């Protein structure tokens, strides 16, 4: 997994730490990354993952569910689709939720046992279903039509746990694109539509191998009570189905993920413990032990354990506005650039030597390298005045940011490094998770091998 690089990071004197600055815990890692050249003129942007932080987030999740022995916690691979990160999570005892053939491949490469992998996706092909069944990974059908496909593809002795995703239609949160349990969501069987509930009961009646119900209410912007209500409706449906079939056919409930992340300061809230409290209040029977449980968390495990560092290439003034032109833009902070109101990020200012910048606050636009005017990750943000060679740090970007880059302007995928700052003697140790994309790789992925393809068509 790449050579370990070590550095003795002298701790920042506390006098230089103003309480308003975010995530002081990363200061030593930022300075070490600059000193070791992981960030600099020729490596102007990179993502970083705090492995101790990831381990402690997983520990908090397990602790919150400690009273429920039959729970499989899976990590939603799309939140950080990097093999070393997935392997770290497997090492922490987690399973993996995947939603595409690519994510399934990454989960297998990362070393998750097939029985700890769950495949969800609203558009699984027959080929994908066949592979999942052959591997023995759990599959949650997204529709009754998909159940018919599984009928045709399933081998009698397949070990795969099979479930059906339902949409409890409990409503959405504050970000429409992150709300999966609205009336018209594309996911699952819309339970409150006319005839749907009865059709679901009959689907279970007809298929003795169908043993799991799945729901994922949503994600960032969804209040805990909404998520808990969706889980409660799913639990009640399982009870109803088991009662009507006269047997405990449904043996497990996959309750999804989606715990929102606080992007406004360093505190972690809501906590997993608060989530479990909300579930207990909404569905007291959920932890009775009658159902094995599966969870699927992504953002809440990784977001606060990662950051992006990017060099300031130029600064300029335009129309009375100060602008810092950096290497962190829409290619690595895509959601924030396109939906700045929904995905605001905290930003830190660091000097060219990687130490926190001091100075009176100045409102500055933090812009990226992409060639469109909206490529700005923060508008009018008050920070110490930035200059060429300084660095900006985008906090809380451990999930869905540097791990899911966008290929706009043929900008390279940024490098990603993992680090440990709690190693003995205050050392910060880095390991390569992914190299920055090379120009050769960009050319190859842009059809270089077929350079003549269109001119020879005539």
Residues in contact with ligand PLP by the rule CB under 6 A = 76, 78-79, 97, 99, 120, 216, 219, 256-259, 296-300
Question: How far is it, in rounded angstroms, from Cα 54 to Cα 33?
Answer: 19
Q: Which of 299, 339, 313 is nearest to 392 (CA)?
A: 313
What minimum distance in Å lies between the beta carbon of 180 and ligand PLP? 7
Give the CA angle between residues 120, 125, 126 to the nearest 5°.
110
The smaller minimum CB distance to ligand PLP, of residues 79 and 135, is found at: 79
Q: What are the backbone dihedrals phi and psi of residue 12, each rounded to the nearest 5 degrees, phi first?
A: -60, 130
Q: How many residues does this entry show for the chain?
A: 458
Q: Are 128 and 148 in contact (CB under 8 A)?
A: no
Token pair listed for 263: 């992007």
Question: How far is it, in rounded angstroms, from Cα 204 to Cα 210?
Answer: 6
Question: How far is it, in rounded angstroms, from Cα 38 to Cα 224?
Answer: 39
Q: Where are the alpha helices (DSSP H) in 6-81?
A: 27-35, 51-64
What minimum distance in Å lies between the beta carbon of 178 and ligand PLP? 7
What minimum distance in Å lies between the beta carbon of 119 and ligand PLP? 10
Contacts for 216 with CB less than 8 Å, ≥ 6 apart = 120, 165, 180, 187, 255, 256, 257, 258, 296
What minimum distance in Å lies between the beta carbon of 298 and ligand PLP? 3
- Name the residue number minimizing CB distance to ligand PLP: 298
What minimum distance in Å lies between the beta carbon of 241 and ligand PLP? 21
Helix, strand, or coil (residue 446):
coil
Is 96 one of the annotated active-site residues of the chain?
A: no
The smaller minimum CB distance to ligand PLP, of residues 272 and 350, is found at: 272
What minimum distance in Å lies between the beta carbon of 143 and ligand PLP? 14
**Residue found by looking up tokens 């381990």 in the block:** 55
Q: Where are the alpha helices (DSSP H) in 77-210?
A: 83-91, 101-110, 126-135, 144-153, 196-206
The smaller minimum CB distance to ligand PLP, of residues 80 and 315, is found at: 80
The smaller minimum CB distance to ligand PLP, of residues 154 and 216, is found at: 216
Strand-pairing partners, residue 74, are 95, 296
Q: Exposed, middle or buried by CB within 10 Å (0-12, 13-18, 19+), for 320?
A: exposed
The smaller minimum CB distance to ligand PLP, of residues 120 and 146, is found at: 120
The smaller minimum CB distance to ligand PLP, of residues 121 and 332, is found at: 121
Write out the catalytic residue numbers.
Answer: 371
């Amino acid at each position: 997994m790449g050579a370990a690089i070590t550095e003795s990071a002298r701790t920042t004197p506390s006098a230089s730490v103003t309480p308003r600055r975010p995530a002081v815990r990363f200061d030593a890692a930022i300075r070490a990354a600059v000193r070791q050249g992981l960030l600099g003129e020729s490596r102007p942007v990179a993502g970083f993952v705090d492995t101790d932080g990831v381990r402690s987030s997983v520990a908090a999740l397990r602790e919150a569910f400690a009273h429920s022995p039959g729970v499989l916690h899976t990590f939603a691979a799309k939140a950080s689709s990097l093999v070393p990160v997935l392997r770290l999570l497997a090492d922490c005892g987690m399973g993996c939720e995947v939603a595409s053939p690519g994510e399934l491949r990454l989960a297998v490469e990362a070393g998750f046992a097939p029985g700890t992998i769950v495949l969800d996706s609203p558009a699984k092909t027959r080929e994908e279903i066949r592979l999942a069944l052959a591997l023995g990974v759990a599959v949650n059908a997204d529709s009754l039509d998909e159940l018919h496909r599984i009928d045709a593809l399933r081998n009698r002795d397949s070990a795969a746990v099979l479930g059906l995703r339902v949409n409890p239609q409990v409503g959405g949160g504050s970000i429409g694109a992150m709300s999966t349990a609205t009336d018209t969501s594309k996911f699952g069987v819309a339970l409150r539509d006319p005839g749907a509930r009865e059709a679901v009961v009959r689907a279970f009646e007809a298929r003795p191998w169908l043993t799991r119900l799945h729901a994922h209410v949503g994600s960032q912007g969804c209040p805990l009570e909404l998520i808990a209500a969706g889980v409660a409706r799913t639990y009640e449906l399982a009870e109803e189905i088991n009662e009507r079939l006269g047997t405990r056919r449904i043996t497990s409930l996959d309750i999804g993920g989606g715990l929102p992340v606080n992007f406004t300061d360093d505190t972690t809230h809501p906590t997993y413990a608060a989530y479990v409290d909300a579930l207990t209040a909404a569905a007291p029977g959920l932890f009775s032990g009658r159902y094995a449980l599966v969870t699927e968390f992504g953002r809440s495990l990784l977001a606060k354990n990662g950051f992006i560092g990017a060099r300031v290439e130029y600064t300029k003034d335009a129309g009375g506005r100060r602008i810092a032109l950096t290497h962190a833009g829409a290619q690595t902070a895509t959601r924030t650039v396109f939906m700045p109101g929904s995905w605001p990020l905290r930003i830190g200012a660091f000097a060219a030597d990687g130490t926190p910048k001091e100075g009176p606050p100045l409102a500055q636009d933090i812009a990226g390298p992409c060639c469109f005017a909206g490529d700005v990750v923060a508008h009018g943000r008050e920070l110490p005045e930035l200059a060429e060679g300084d660095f900006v740090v985008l906090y809380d970007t451990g999930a869905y940011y540097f791990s899911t880059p966008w290929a706009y302007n043929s900008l390279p995928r940024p490098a990603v490094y993992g680090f440990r700052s709690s190693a003995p003697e205050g050392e910060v140790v880095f390991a390569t998770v992914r190299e920055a994309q090379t120009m050769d790789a960009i050319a190859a992925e842009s059809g270089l091998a077929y350079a003549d393809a269109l001119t020879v068509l005539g």
